Amino acid sequence: MSRWSSSSGRCRNEPSLSPRRGGVLSRDIRAEARLLRMCVREPEEVTDDEILTAAKAVRDWHWLAGTADQHGIVRFLIRAVTSRGLTLPQQASDMLHESAIAQTAMALSLESELARVLESLEGAGVPAIVIKGPALARTLYDDSLLRPFSDLDLVVQSRDQAIAANGLQDCGYTETAFGPEADRQAHAGHVHEGAEFHRVFQAPCGSSVELHLDPLQLGLRPACEEGRWLRAVPVAGLPRALMLCPEDQLVQLATHVHKHGFCRLIWLKDIDLLVRRYFLDWALVREVARAEGVGASVWYSLRLSRLLLGTPVPGSVLANFRPALPLRFLYQWVWPPARILNLGGFMRRRSVQFHMAQSWSGMLPSLILMGRRADRMHALLKMTVHVSPADVSSEVPAS
């Protein structure tokens, strides 16, 4: 359990703030999205009556079932409605159960592949950190099937990258091209602040492995990678594997969900459970987040998690991560809370990641919205100097 009580920062009711202050009016939130969020909240954060009332207001059960699938929360929805004796329309019920069966089959297949890959890496003397799905399902969720995942994400150290790639190929995996990494390689000779993006490997069975050299994938050389490896811990129930310590896990999860525009509720649920399960060293979280330039990402992710799921984050903690007022307004403009409350988050990846793009417009968003601005500006200037007229003209659309 977290050292913070569930009453601290509790926000069961929907917000009703003035839009001028970045708040959201209850009437702007669709009933289907409200019910889904309630189903994902912890039991102490929502009552049966609230869920039953929310269910009565639902009009589009097809949208609700499809959105639950997109957000990875199908089993949360099934558990919440069945435990309260609710009967769903047959079509929606069939959709949910088909999704649940498919997710279970996917998890079993990927678990088998993960064991095989980790055994191969261990035989080659390569330590690996498992991030996201498999590690979180084991350590945060009371039922691992509540946390679906569709691929495997492994972090290895730079010196082990070639050995790890060979190990994956020995397991039958084939590397496939990843666009951002190809762009980075084209400019790696003159932009030294950049870092490698993940490499993607596919197996004949359909399984996918993403091989990372750092878990944040910001496009910049990580500032704290050595410390992350020193703080890594074994994964319960997963021999041969490591996972990030809770504090590094929080930074990674916040950066990841921010990078993807808060487009899946299950990723905010990861943060919600992490805060509840561990006695977090918030000073370490802040230190790592500031060093990596993602303090605002942690602030906004925690803020949204508290807003959507009632995550017990004390106001004093949020205040320690809160950026300057202009940046707070920009975050609410780029990633509007009302849209995220309605489960309509969307990706603005270049607002978070530094991409080796051949235009200022491709690199400016993250310079404005993220930290480590000196590193980003230095890289941007180098990119500008080395852009050829042909590169620039190729980006201008034909009239």
Are 288 and 247 in contact by the 8 Å Cβ rule? The answer is: yes
Percentage of the residues of the chain whose pLDDT score is greater than 70: 82
Distance between CA atoms of 61 and 320, rounded to whole angstroms? 41
Q: Which CATH class is domain 19-395?
A: alpha beta
User: Average pLDDT over the chain, rounded to whole?
Assistant: 86
For residue range 24-54, list pLDDT tens digits in order. 556 678 999 999 999 999 999 999 999 999 9
Lowest-pLDDT range, 10-24, 62-76, 108-122, 161-175?
10-24
For residue 19, pLDDT beyond 50: no
Query: What distance in Å separates the CA atoms of residue 197 and residue 241, rounded to the nearest whole number?
Result: 21
Lowest mean pLDDT among 220-229, 272-281, 327-336, 370-379: 370-379
Closest among 324, 325, 316 to 283, alpha carbons compared:
316
Higher pLDDT, 233 or 364: 233
At 87-130, the pLDDT tens digits run 999 999 999 999 999 999 999 999 999 999 999 999 999 999 99
pLDDT in tens, 260-289: 999 999 999 999 999 999 999 999 999 999
Return the higher-pLDDT residue of 186 and 337.
337
3-state SS of the chain: helix, strand, coil percent to 5?
A: 60, 10, 35
What pLDDT, in 10s, does the model give residues 211-234? 999 999 998 889 999 999 999 999
Q: What would the DSSP string read from start to end of 266-278?
A: HHHHHHHHHHHHS
Q: For residues 289-305, give the mean pLDDT.
A: 98
Strands across the sheet containing 238-243: 174-176, 199-202, 208-212, 152-155, 129-131, 238-243, 233-235
The answer on pLDDT for 159 being more than 50 is yes
Where residue 193 falls among pLDDT bands split at 50, 70, 90? low
Burial of 103 (0-12, 13-18, 19+ CB in 10 A): buried
Report the percent of the chain where pLDDT is more than 90.
71
Question: Which amino acid is present at 89?
Answer: P
- pLDDT class for 140, splitting at 50, 70, 90? very high
Short-list 275, 361, 231, CA closest to 8: 275
Kindly tell me if the per-residue pLDDT of 152 is higher than 60. Answer: yes
Give the range among 73-77, 175-179, 296-300 with minimum mean pLDDT.
175-179
SS (H, E, C) 96-145: HHHHHHHHHHHHHHHHHHHHHHHHHHHHCCCCCEEECHHHHHHHCCCCHH
- Compute the distance between CA of residue 312 and CA of residue 316 in angstroms, rounded to an integer: 12
Higher-confidence residue of 101 and 21: namely 101
pLDDT tens by residue, 341-352: 999 998 888 888
363 and 354 Cβ atoms separated by less than 8 Å: yes
| Number of helices and strands in the chain (H, E) | 19, 7
pLDDT at 386 over 70: no
Residue 295 has pLDDT above 80, yes or no: yes
Comparing 175-184, 207-216, 279-288, 351-360, the range with the smallest average pLDDT is 175-184
pLDDT band at 63 (very low <50, low <70, confident <90, very high): very high
Q: Where are the domains of the chain?
A: 19-395
pTM, to two decimals = 0.87
Q: How many CB atoms lie within 10 A of CB 139?
A: 21
